[in-house]
Structure formats: structure tokens, C-alpha cells
Amino acid sequence: MKSVRLLVPCLLSGVLVAGTAALANTAKSPFANAEENPTTVTKAGTCEVRCIDPHACCEESAQVVQILQKLVAAYSLGDIKTYEKYLDDNCSMFMEGTKQLISGKAKVIDHLKQSFIDHAPGGKDPLVSFTIDQPFAKVTNDSCVVTFFATKEIGGAHPHKERAHITDVFVKRDNNWKKLHWSGNWETTEN
């Protein structure tokens, strides 16, 4: 009798494991073909924008990662108008290195303008590439937190690479995701 009691739980757990494996194989990833191609590469002018191994918790968070890629492309082109379209009116930036907080859309855009000019094609420090490395996006109600490592390769007279751990917060307003907050610290990694 004892062997029958042990066999039933083993059989049930085998069915559960087999069922779970079957579900895992049919579950759709929020990123199309993420298993086959976890890296997306796009050209934004002369800059190559890469998104490596994104992790989204749902379809909504996958949309936010796509918006993040659009923001990076706009940044590399010096396209402040497109970038501005994805900023919330109450957006803010916190530069961890300088402990500087900039609040309000107008002030954030003023701060970004010089960086956009410098990093645009033909600028003094043009972006050669920008990599969004393993972005993790999590949606809770009408907000989404995205955290990732970023690497930017800068050309011009003084070519070098910079790396940062970045946290972006997005908020959903009128069914559109807008960037509410940016926090990070760029550090030169190599010349």
C-alpha cells in the first residue's frame, strides 16, 4: 500500500511538470522572437542603437522599452522635438555624480539641449553607438520603472566610452507612456 501512495504523488508531479513545460513552450514573450534574437539594432543617423536582452514583465512594459529605444534614437540624432514628445510635463532628472536635481519639462529640455547638440551627427562629441543593456521593465498600475546599464561610444576629437546604471520612471497619461524621471551617472570607461 505504501508504494501506491508514493507512486500517485510522483505521477501527479510528473503531470504537473510536463504541463508546466508545455505551457512554458507555448507562452508568448512580450518581445517578438526574443528567444531567437535578444538584441535589436537600429541605425539613427550615424549612430548604432542596440537593445540587448530586454526583460519585460508584460506587453505594456515591452511598449515602454520600445519607447526607450525611440528616445535613445532621438538623442543620437539631436532630435529634441521627438524626445520632448515622450516627456511628461512634470518630468525630472537626477544626476547622481553632481547630486543635481532638475524639475519641470522646460528646465529638463533646457538642460538637455547642449547635450543633444554635442552628441548629434556633426557635433563636437557625436554618438557612434548607444547600447541599452538588459533593460528590465515593470509596470504597476499607470507607472513603469525601467532599469538598465547603458554604454555610449563617443567619436569626435576625443573618442571614448561612457557607462551608466540608469533608472527611468514612466507614467501613463491619456493612454500614452511618458518619461517622468531619469536617474543615473555617466562615467568614462575607456578612451
Contact 147, 132 (CB under 8 A): no
Distance CA 78, CA 130 (A): 13
Mean pLDDT of 139-152: 96
Higher local confidence (pLDDT), 21 or 158: 158
pLDDT of residue 107: 95
At residue 13, does pLDDT exceed 50? no
pLDDT digits (tens, 9 = 90+) for 163-173: 999 999 999 99
10 Å Cβ neighbour count for 148? 24
Q: What CATH number belongs to 30-190?
A: 3.10.450.50
Is pLDDT at 104 greater than 50 in this prediction? Answer: yes
**Which residues 6+ apart lie within 8 Å of 60 measured at CB?**
139, 144, 172
For residue 1, pLDDT over 60 is answered with no
Taking each continuous run of H as one helix and of E as one strand, the counts in the chain are: 4, 10
pLDDT at position 77 is: 83
pLDDT at 3 over 60: no
